[in-house]
Amino acid sequence: MSRGWARAALVGYRWFGAGIYPLLGPYLAIRAAKGKEERARRNERYGRSKIDRPDGPLVWFHAASVGETTAVVPLIREVRRRGISVVLTTGTVTSAGVARERLGDNVIHQYVPLDLKPAVSRFLDHWKPDLAIIAESEIWPMTILELGARRTPQVLVNGRLSDRSFARWNKRPSLADALFENLSHVVAQSDLDAERFLALGARPVSVSGNLKVDTTAPPWDAKELAKLKGQILDRPTWAAISTFEGEDEIAAAVHRTLSPRHKQLTILVPRHPDRADAIEAMLTERGLKVARRSRGDVIEPSTDVYLGDTIGEMGLYLNLTEIAFVGKSLKGSGGQNPLEPAMLGCAVLSGSNVENFRESYARLLKNGGARYVRDGEMLAKAVHFLLSNPQARQSMAEGGDKTLRDMRGALKSTIRALEPYINPLTVKARLLPRDNENTESRGGGQW
């Protein structure tokens, strides 16, 4: 595809989006009915907002889902510490909950506008961001082009390109170049990611490491933790977290295999809590007794599976065990973040389909903090081994801790890369007239 054809394709994308824009109401209504949209806030997806833009400089952060939101929290806190207002957009209800929990009124939260010109233009016309910071792999053509047309600096942080995404963009180099030339800077997670962004036309590109290492461990309620531990007593536990369809059945099979010997409690935390009803039905059909977190069910000695079907409580679930299988790695592909269980002292087990977290797993494996399993049978053997060997669990936990210590430093590197864009805004913020509110609360948002 020539550069001329690439630009023609982007113009076609713009007009196609404008054409289907009036037809998106039913689509969003269906998503709201499934719990994937907040019904009362659907207008935000059209770029509309009930919140006034605060005075002074403003940075727009975009983080698609839970992992990306968690990763940029320290960056957002640094920007807010400088007195700069922040509007944070996310794409899922779950990530909105994480943002609310970790940032509260320190930011203005909005749902990301649909990547269609009317919605993106309305959003940008209202918020007029001085800088856009996008997390990881969110490449939305219309958003990038509209920011570029306004000459708004846009920086991709914690940037990564999966094998599939890179192959797809690499087939259309002119199209990739026409988009990536709008990025002011790409701060990549790894040398491999940096090479891929450079190959697709991004300039400049630097390497920071993974921001997810420099985040704090997921929080938990100490009273709730003590209550649940009081219900579990001395029963051994293991967890299957961030599971996708097909992996819940594997966890159930593992439980049935090991239960005669260990009498263990299985903690099952699906990646999407809205699947909890279907998962409970499947477990019950297999003769397993289920307690659900969302219902406040008590964990009894006869409980087989504790179903963690709530948002923002991963820290609670991981503190109940020392063994964690991380999902989307046996069924599906890409994997999920293994660093959170490592932060909380868990031995990490995973399938090998983890391309989105390749470097994290490589380091964990090297230090003995994680092990790959091939299938459900191998997972059962690994869980059995770890339940039977406290020293092996401790050794893997220590390997995870070493990995985290070795990988830290991405936050400082990212802030250093952002300084040319943030420093002028810091000066502007300091020149604003002072009011009775403190710097930390100015620009706080509504939910």
CA distance 160 to 123: 26
What is the phi-psi region of residue 372: left when phi exceeds 0, alpha when psi lies from -120 to 50, beta otherwise? beta
For residues 325 and 378, what is the distance between their CA atoms, to the nearest angstrom?
A: 12
Reading the block at residue 312, the tokens are 């923002």
Q: How many CA atoms lie within 13 A of 119 on its CB side?
A: 24
Cα gap 156→99, rounded to integer Å = 19
> What distance in Å separates the CA atoms of residue 425 and residue 255, rounded to the nearest whole number?
54
374 close to 325: Cβ distance less than 8 angstroms: no
Contact 63, 88 (CB under 8 A): yes
What is the chain's percent helix, strand, coil content, to nearest 5?
Answer: 50, 15, 35
Distance (Å, whole) CA 74 – CA 57: 19
Residues ≥6 apart with Cβ < 8 Å to 341: 239, 241, 318, 324, 326, 348, 400
Q: Which 8-state DSSP code applies to residue 92? A: S
State whether residue 138 is helix, strand or coil.
coil
Tokens encoding 221: 């309620």
Backbone angles phi, psi at 372, to 5 degrees: -85, 145
Residue 377 contacts residue 351 (beta carbons within 8 Å)? no
Query: Which one of the listed residues 37, 44, 68, 136 is annotated catalytic?
Result: 68
Q: Is 68 designated active site?
A: yes
CA distance 191 to 180: 18
Could you tell me where the DSSP H helices lie in 263-325? 276-285, 314-318
197's CB contacts (< 8 A; 6+ apart) are 156, 159, 161, 180, 186, 188, 205
Q: Which helix (H) or strand (E) holds 215?
A: none
As given in the structure block, the two tokens for residue 91 are 């794409």
Could you list the active site residues?
68
